[in-house]
Chain A
Amino acid sequence: MVGHSPPPFFKRGPAPLAKLVFFLVLSLALLVSDLNLRYLDAFRTGLSVLAYPLQMAAATPADFVRNASNYFASLVRLQIENKELKNRQLQGGERLLRLDQLEQENRRLRALLEARERQPVKSVVAEIMYTAKDPFSRKVILDKGTQAGIEAGQAVVDDLGVIGQITRVFPMQSELTLLTDRDQAIPVMIVRNGLRAVLFGAGNGLMELRYLAANADVQAGDKVVTSGLDGVFLAGLPVATVAKVERDQARTFAGIPCLPAAGVEQYGQVLVLGHREALPSRPPEPEVINKGKGRRGRAPRD
């Protein structure tokens, strides 16, 4: 009969166990090089070309649900939201008016001081499409990609503060790692006293100020903003509020959980900030060590 061929008794390729070992070693090698060494981004981009049409098709139901829920949003809710936004605009309007004047003044003063002029940062408005499916990390997918000029490493903010950083870019989409992800870190400063620190994602929706001495001057309720030392985030963007301070004598560092300022785990419109102006080049290393003490705090450019 047509199509009935005998099973291949003698030519079945390598033994199953050999195949198993080969593929296991291969996938372990892939895992290590992807997680630790980041060698495989080109390979991933290649594969994602293959997966992309299917991904797009699969995102349509999610799009549909999102649009439908928007469409059926009740009139009352919209009215409330409208009122709130008007209020906020009024409050912000007055500050904006002054900002214009301050910016002018700043430019003139900077010119007087012969300081480098701050370039305005080009930014792109994007929308959070959905949460990435990987349950081990906190990432979301934005609806703009390389075609809109987005690059990996850019900072993303919403109307209340920083929410994360772009980690991967595809032609039409990009992947945003939220600040609450365990692998995400951001250099920050406490507004009240200018204390510099690094804020890490805690993995449970909160963030954590690490490596601050147990007697550091931090209080619950302190506002935390970006320090801009990394050359990625602009300085002064709100990031978090200190929730509480746990000082344990047994530990070297204080445990300081923080609440994110922005709607980190919410959906909506976000702003992808363009790359910051290049930092000035590092000053030459001083020959005498004593003279260089003032430069200690400067972090190396990322």
Chain B
Amino acid sequence: MQPTNRSRRILLPVKLWFVYTTLFIALFLNYIPTGHLPAVPDFVALVLAFWCVREPVKIGIGTGFMFGLLTDVGVGAALGQHAFAYVLLAYAANELSRRVLWFTPVEQALHVLPLLFMSQVLMVLVRLLAGAEFPGWWMFFGSFVAAVLWIPLHYVLLLPQYQPVERDENRPI
């Protein structure tokens, strides 16, 4: 468990089932057939980056690889395309976690933006090398939208950890 350095609040330890549930919800959001709509963020990359930053001991490269493969299959991409990008993303997020947590959510989002962008660039490079058509620049807009989503996500995904261990009617939290 990382201390939330800003809030000076000691969080409960995260529950692994909650982490995986959120990852599967993100996977569900990725599966929604939006076609070639521009600026749809990659939800799995975002949630994965979040947990890799928050819980570098528990969530890392292996999880990234697994969810990358699941995304590939569901989206109809080349097998290993998302896995490749997510593995690098998870590694970079794990390495950054000690630094990122000292910042406010907005500054954290600015730290995560290059990572998300990099994962998209990697995917484009891999597919262009394999001879696919270039999908257009609007595609990169998705990672900016994802970075904006980091700020609400930061509160939503930490909600279960804000709860007190023992419920006490008389305690003022």
A residues near B (Cβ < 8 Å) are 1, 3-5, 7-8, 12, 16, 19-20, 23-24, 26-31, 34-36, 40, 43-44, 47-48, 50-51, 54-55, 57-59, 61-62, 129-137, 139, 141, 168, 175, 182-183, 203-204
Contacts and interface: CB of A to CB of B under 8 A. Distances in A.
A26 B135 CA distance: 26
A16 B94 contact: yes
Contacts of B158: none
Interface in B45-89: 57, 60-62, 64-65, 68-70, 73-81, 83-84, 87-88
14 contacts: A5-B13, A19-B91, A23-B64, A27-B68, A31-B79, A31-B80, A31-B126, A35-B130, A47-B69, A48-B74, A51-B27, A51-B31, A54-B74, A141-B33
Interface in B126-172: 126-127, 130-133, 135-136, 139, 165
A29 B70 CA distance: 17
Given A20-B88, A47-B73, A133-B34, A28 B135 contact: no
Query: Taking each of A8, A51, A133, which has the highest tally of chain B beta carbons within 10 Å of its own beta carbon?
Result: A133
Given A26-B65, A44-B73, A134-B76, A55 B57 contact: no
Contacts of B135: 135-136
Interface in B7-45: 12-13, 24, 27-36
Given A34-B79, A47-B73, 19 more contacts: A3-B13, A5-B13, A23-B64, A23-B87, A24-B84, A27-B80, A27-B87, A30-B79, A31-B81, A34-B78, A40-B79, A48-B74, A57-B28, A130-B35, A132-B33, A137-B132, A137-B133, A141-B33, A183-B131
A27 B83 CA distance: 6
B33 A131 contact: yes
Given A3-B13, A24-B88, A26-B65, A8 B80 contact: no
A30 B80 contact: yes
B79 to A, nearest CB: 4
Nearest to B80: A30
Contacts of A203: 133
